Amino acid sequence: MKVLLLGANGQLGRSFIKSGGLARYGEVMFATRDGLLNGTIPVKVADLAHPLAVIELLECTKPDLIINAAAYTAVDQAEDEESLATLINGTALDTIGRWAAPHGSLVVHYSTDYVFDGERSVPYAVDAPTAPINAYGRSKLLGEHLLQASGAAQLIFRTAWVYSAHGHNFLRSMLRLGRERRELRIVNDQFGTPTTTGLIVDATLTALDAWFKTPMGQRETLTGTYHVVSSGMTTWHDFATLIFQKASSAGLLPVAPKVKAIGTKDFPTRAKRPAWTVLDNSSFSQRFDFVLPDWKVGLNDVINELYVEANGSSC
């Protein structure tokens, strides 16, 4: 079997490569926007903004399994580049899905909590009404709809507040700012669930194991959309506070800075953020018999990974 990983340079893509887990399904091919992995190793080129080139790549590689970890993720910038975000996060899924359907290939795709409006205060079920309030959310919702409409075998995993020990994310920004400043002001009225790429990879591999163990004719019982997020919830302020506590105890920061709670209104951003996007992850856990642990477990894992990188052994 042939596996194609799109977006191999992103946080999630890199975690897939680090885990090595996709190799159990067959030959794994990596693709990035510019055809280079980590800026040095030549791999396949897949720029999702160019549908014809994507089709050409699919025709030439003929993957049985396509993992789409590529996305336009610059939430604020998407307000000014909605057509580009829509092309990459939306239209590209039509291209991929329409190729995959007649070829019998499975598409694994990732979406976001930002497909919801954040007006609730009980966890969003998978089939709760979607109503994105920013351009990024609209583009990702379009991608879900186009992939669903393509008729391809598919697993769509909505996730949230994604971070890891590498790449661009909130934890790494906090650690950088924590070294530079004594006090930080962080929003305390947006609620969600930080989720590590390590957990998303483990969950995806578990779902794929189940998929390939299931007889062909019965796989449609697994196909669909799931919430793959950690359990529990927090605010950006409380997440930052715990990051600083754990990082300073592990010696990754000399001193934990003070974290002052502010409101969204005190921190204006180009894109509006939904205020409350806790996702009900029970259907994934039940379907695939996989525990999605509390978000603090993931934070411990990432701090430990950073500690090992800095010190060479576990803390």
Ligand X SMILES: NC(=O)c1ccc[n+]([C@@H]2O[C@H](COP(=O)([O-])OP(=O)(O)OC[C@H]3O[C@@H](n4cnc5c(N)ncnc54)[C@H](OP(=O)(O)O)[C@@H]3O)[C@@H](O)[C@H]2O)c1
In angstroms, rounded to a whole number, what is the distance separating the alpha carbons of residues 80 and 83?
9
Query: Considering only residues 37, 73, 171, 272, which one is a binding residue for ligand X as defined by CB under 6 A?
Result: 73
30 contributes a contact to ligand X by CB under 6 A? no
Hey, how many other C-beta atoms are within 10 angstroms of the C-beta on 111? 25
* Cβ at position 109, least distance to ligand X in Å: 7
Spatial distance between the Cα atoms of 227 and 126, rounded to a whole number of angstroms:
7
Catalytic residue ranges: 136
CB of 88 to ligand X, least distance (A): 4
Which residue type, as a one-letter code, is found at position 62? K
What residues does 41 pair with on adjacent strands? 37
Torsion of CA 123, 127, 128, 133, to 10 degrees: 100
- Assigned token pair, 79: 């307000």
Q: Judged by CB under 6 A, does residue 178 bind ligand X?
A: no
Which is closer to ligand X, CB of 159 or CB of 289?
159
70 contributes a contact to ligand X by CB under 6 A = yes
Asked if residue 46 binds ligand X (CB under 6 A), the reply is: yes
Output helix, strand, coil percentages for the chain, rounded to the nearest 5: 45, 20, 35
For ligand X, the binding residue among 12, 28, 146, 243 (CB under 6 A) is 12
Amino acid identity at 90: G
Is position 298 an interface residue for ligand X (rule: CB under 6 A)?
no
Under rule CB under 6 A, residue 11 binds ligand X? yes
112, 159 Cβ separation under 8 angstroms: yes
Buried b (16+ CB within 10 A) or exposed e, 85-103: bbbbbbbbbbbbbbbbbee
Which CB atom, from 33 or from 138, has the smaller least distance to ligand X? 33
The residue length of the chain stands at 315
Among 160, 174, 208, 292, binds ligand X (CB under 6 A): 160
Backbone phi, then psi, for 46, in 5-degree steps?
A: -140, 100
Nearest residue (CB) to ligand X, 72 versus 307: 72
Contact between 10 and ligand X (CB under 6 A)?
yes
x/- site string to ligand X, residues 188 to 217, per CB under 6 A?
------------------------------
Q: Judged by CB, which is closer to ligand X: 10, or 132?
A: 10
Region of 157-165, 174-182, 232-240, 270-278 interacting with ligand X (CB under 6 A):
157-165
**Dihedral sign, CA of 235, 192, 291, 164?**
negative
225 binds ligand X (CB under 6 A): no
Burial of 38 (0-12, 13-18, 19+ CB in 10 A): exposed
- Range 97-156, binding ligand X (CB under 6 A): 110, 112, 140
CB-nearest residue to ligand X = 10
* Two tokens, residue 65: 């399994």
Residues that bind ligand X (CB under 6 A): 7, 9-13, 33, 46-49, 69-73, 88, 110, 112, 140, 159-162, 167
